[in-house]
Amino acid sequence: MQLIKNIIYSLSVICVFASCEKFFDTTLELPTPEHTPIMAISAFINSTSTDSLRFKVTRTFGLFEERPSSSQDNLSGATVKLFEDGNLLYTFNENINQFEPGYISPPLLEAFGGEGKTYKLEVTHPDFGTATASQVMPTPIPLTNVEVRILENNNLFEGGNGEFKLTFNDPVEEENYYELTAVQTIIYRYEDIDGNIIEEEYDQEIYLGSDGPPDPNVTQGYNYAAMLLSDKNFNGQTFTLSAEFYDYSDFGQGGETDPATYTLYWRTVTKDYFNYSKSLLDNENAQDNPFAEPVSLYTNVDGGVGAFCLRSELVYEVE
């Protein structure tokens, strides 16, 4: 009797493994999610812009759809218009430069400016209809004090070795957003094999951050080199921002360098820009994290997706 039970048990195990093997050999065909493409727009204006404005117009792509390279990613045939306080300001032309696809405005005759004015972007395409977005150019909030100091620690791999301290008066009863980026300029001299003194100038966008406790008023921008601020916790007050940075001025090649100079780009930005930039960084951080929840990119475009954003910029040179 026990022998018969063992035989039945063995046959059952064989059947189970045979079924499992058949299961793992089976190719499952999942339906491809349907996707209806819509226009995708990327358009940003600085108040200090002096060159032609360049906007990107493309379309969305499905999950398994092959996307063209950046040099070919352009939705041809669109009509792009920019209005200022309801009046047509520019009609954009399609850029024929294959390395910078998109749409370009006529050359600007002076800095764009536009503080306090309302700008509306209108993009029309025969296959995708019309997409629009509106923004008011923020009024720039000047810095009342700018300081830079080099910290004693000069090891690039052990933390920040310089610090900016920026002070400004935040307007009362206004919801304001800010952005800071900085560029370090280095003059490097060395002697070539013929005994000539060679002088070269290097500009380097520098990483801004902090090794101390996180500041609840500050978040990183989309490219890790920008700091974003919201005045939610200091509305109407005088605020001092501390931003540490890495110093790249020690080339270690036997030459010599002058003390570095710094160019600070201090911007008062729209809320849409703040949210869009932050969502880009959150999306990038989530891509390589299997446990992160999906992040939706912020959009302020009606009839499409993407962002049309304005930044009012002030430039400060410090040593």
- The proportion of the chain whose per-residue pLDDT surpasses 90, expressed as a percent, equals 47
Antiparallel, parallel or unpaired: β 39-46 and 305-318 = parallel
CA atoms within 13 A on the CB side of 249: 19
CA 272/CA 309 separation, integer angstroms: 7
Highest mean pLDDT among 172-176, 213-217, 288-292 belongs to 172-176
| C-beta separation of 73 from 58 below 8 A | yes
- Name the pTM for this structure: 0.81
**What is the pLDDT averaged over residues 8-35?**
48
Cβ-based neighbour number of residue 28 at 10 Å: 5
Residue 15's pLDDT band, with cuts at 50, 70 and 90, is very low
Topology annotation, domain 39-136 = Immunoglobulin-like (2.60.40)
Which residues make up the CATH 2.60.40 domain(s) of the chain?
39-136
The pLDDT value given to residue 254: 57
Least confident of 98-102, 195-199, 294-298: 294-298
pLDDT, tens digit, 9 for 90 and up, residues 123-153: 999 999 999 999 999 999 999 999 988 776 5
pLDDT, tens digit, 9 for 90 and up, residues 209-247: 766 667 888 888 877 788 999 999 999 999 999 888 876
